[in-house]
Structure 1
Amino acid sequence: MKLQADRIEGTNAISRHGAEGVIVNGIEYTASVVVPWQGQVLAWPVSTFAELTVERFAALVQLRPELVIFGSGRRLRFPAPALLRPLIDQRIGVETMDTAAACRTYNVLLAEGRSVVAALLFEGPAQSTA
């Protein structure tokens, strides 16, 4: 789905998303990715829901967001609360939704000027192009 995000200079807007990946600032990503509101878009080394670990979520703390939107793939699946503990302990909000909804919500929060990170799970054999 193509999105028309209100992009603020220096931020990372998601312009398109689908089951196969996302386009952020004109660059296509076809594997799981972390999209911070500003700075570098990062590969997220998780290719299945079962591979989610405390360490994968703990790495998001270093980005210092006020909120993390976790896109759980094509369908809504909630990670075990213990996996989210590093974020919760740092008082970082966490919302879980399917990846399509996560992309839309991320852009809305980005347009509001929020310090938001989208951690997007794309399952499958595809590799990131970035």
Structure 2
Amino acid sequence: MATLELDENQAGYQIRAFKPGLIQVNDITFTQSIIISPDQLIENWAPQTAAALSAHALQLAVALKPDILLIGTGATHVFLPVEIYGELINQGIGVEIMDTSAACRTYNVLSAENRRVVAALIIQ
């Protein structure tokens, strides 16, 4: 498992390590998809694959009022359907879609900058 190093990150929830199938937030390891922000963690988020992502499933992340929403699609980068992506953009949310490993790294950087970031992460 690759370990991610953090400097001066004051976020209450920090990603410490990730590998396909496992993500470590603070000192807890998760094996199911999660939604994380600097001050909230939603465990056992329903979508377990990128194909299961839907506007409805992403409403949990949207409810956290992010300026930036990172969507980690698992081991590979998968594009969201344009309808889902467009709906998020129309709500004024910056959306970045990437593989989950990249989303974890990006989350740590943005949370360390005290940005209002939320990451919806498919762990598989």
TM-score (norm 1): 0.86
2:119 is aligned to: 118
Distance 1:24 1:62, change over 3 A: same
Structure 2 stretches lacking a partner, 5+ long: none
Match of 2:74 in 1: 73
Q: What amino acid is aligned across from residue 122 of structure 1 in structure 2?
A: I
Give, in whole Å, the separation in 1 of the partners of 2:44 and 2:100.
15
Whole-Å separation in 2 of the counterparts to 1:6 and 1:41: 24
In 2: Cα distance, 1:61 partner to 1:44 partner: 13
Code of the residue aligned with 1:92 in structure 2: it is I
Identical counterparts, % of pairs: 37
Instruction: Output the aligned Cα RMSD.
Output: 1.5
Does the alignment pair 1:95 with 2:96? yes
Residue of structure 1 in register with 2:39 after alignment:
38
1:62-111, CA deviations, whole angstroms, 9 ceiling, x for partnerless residues?
Answer: 10111011111101111112123442222011101111111001101111
Tell me which residue corresponds to 1:55: 56
Q: Distance in 2 between the 1:46 and 1:6 partners?
A: 31
What residue identity is the alignment partner of 2:38?
W
Contact kept? 2:11, 2:112, Cα under 8 Å: no
Q: Do 2:72 and 2:101's aligned partners in 1 also have CA atoms closer than 8 Å?
A: yes
C-alpha change, 1:69 and 1:112, in structure 2 (3 Å) is same
Residue 5 of structure 2: SS of its match in structure 1?
coil
TM-score, normalised relative to structure 2 = 0.90
Q: Which amino acid aligns with 2:57?
A: R
Taking the aligned partners of 1:38 and 1:112, their CA distance within structure 2 comes to: 14
